[in-house]
Chain A
Amino acid sequence: DAGITQSPRHKVTETGTPVTLRCHQTENHRYMYWYRQDPGHGLRLIHYSYGVKDTDKGEVSDGYSVSRSKTEDFLLTLESATSSQTSVYFCAIRDSRRSSGNTIYFGEGSWLTVV
């Protein structure tokens, strides 16, 4: 258990509405990530953060923005949700301790349906 909490765990929203997913960690890890999981695509990186207010794009960042104002929280926002953003979203942290070898640990996921 890497102390990762995602909220909400399940959400149904309408096309065109904004949606924010929250990831909270309790272990002060520097790196945090947002991935989406879709059948046939595995996990794809949306955005990641390497510190407070330091973020970068992943391979599928279009339509998403992120913010990290505190070490413990990493927010993913869909400014105007589309049906193609229906997916399972996973937050992750990287354990940068030497013994861990930069292992990435995942939260339980947030199921988002855009109708």
Chain B
Amino acid sequence: AQSVTQLDSQVPVFEEAPVELRCNYSSSVSVYLFWYVQYPNQGLQLLLKYLSGSTLVKGINGFEAEFNKSQTSFHLRKPSVHISDTAEYFCAVGKADKLIFGTGTRLQVFP
């Protein structure tokens, strides 16, 4: 069985500061890993994904994530956040027919 843990339900940060949103997963097989972003009253939008190859993955809006197999982690990072990054972020794991999502991390960027 697969599962995803997002350790922080909320992350407050000031504008232009760096941020890391943490994601740990468990799986008995190799998986694909995803980060999605959800802006208020909208659907989920794909930020980035890890399928194979380089463990550092770059996504949209300046975000990147690093796959760490030994620590079963896929943390999301951005070196300098903007007010517009305020949203909820979901980590997901899966490979076969469905994705399993974490409970989400709400990123709040303050001026």
Contacts and interface: CB of A to CB of B under 8 A. Distances in A.
Contact of A108 (B9, B34, B42): B42
A37 to B, nearest CB: 8
A42 B43 contact: no
Interface in A10-44: 31, 33, 35, 40-44
A39 B9 CA distance: 10
A103 interface: yes
Nearest to B41: A109
A109 B51 contact: no
A69 interface: no
Q: How large is the interface on B (under 10, 10 to 19, 20 to 34, 35 or more residues)?
A: 20 to 34
Contact of A42 (B32, B34, B45, B101): B101
A40 B106 CA distance: 11
B67 interface: no
Given A45-B99, A101-B32, 19 more contacts: A33-B98, A35-B101, A40-B103, A42-B90, A43-B90, A44-B101, A45-B100, A48-B97, A58-B98, A94-B97, A102-B94, A102-B95, A103-B49, A104-B34, A104-B99, A105-B46, A108-B42, A109-B41, A109-B43
Interface of B: 6, 9, 32, 34, 36, 41-46, 49, 51, 90, 92, 94-95, 97-104
